[in-house]
Amino acid sequence: MTDAVGLAQGKLNQPIRAAVTGIGIGAGIYETLELLGREKTLKRLEHVSVNLLM
């Protein structure tokens, strides 16, 4: 994903964590995403993109 948007990996970890968990700090982002699973993670990211960014 970082290649697609032209940002360094570290620049996206915290915003993704905040979008998926609702907080900016916490457990490792990769572990969190794995525990949530693909479908739940994508739903949460979609929710943020639709409701907060528009």
Q: Give dist(CA 51, CA 6) in Å, integer.
A: 24
What radius of gyration do the chain's Cα atoms show?
Answer: 11
**What pLDDT digit, counting tens, does each position of 2-35 carry?**
566 677 777 888 899 999 999 988 889 999 999 9
Going from the C-alpha of 17 to that of each of 29, 33, 54, the distances in angstroms are: 6, 9, 19
Total-model pTM: 0.73
Listed by start position, the domains of the chain span 2-51
CATH code, 2-51: 1.10.10.350
